[in-house]
Amino acid sequence: MSKKGERISEEKAKRIAVGATVAGVLLIIFLVIILIVQFVQIGVANAKKDNLDNLIDEYERAVEQGQEDLDYYRSGEGLYYYARQYGFK
Bigger pLDDT: 4 or 23?
Answer: 23
| Contacts of range 62-71, beta carbons closer than 8 Å, 24 or more positions apart | none
| Domain locations along the chain | 10-85
- How far, in Å, CA of 82 to CA of 88, rounded? 9
Higher-pLDDT residue of 36, 82:
36
Residue 27 reports pLDDT greater than 80: yes
* pLDDT of 63: 87
30-74: pLDDT as tens digits:
999 999 999 999 999 999 999 999 999 999 998 888 888 777 777
pLDDT value, residue 8: 81
Distance CA 27, CA 57 (A): 45
- Position 21 scores a pLDDT of 97
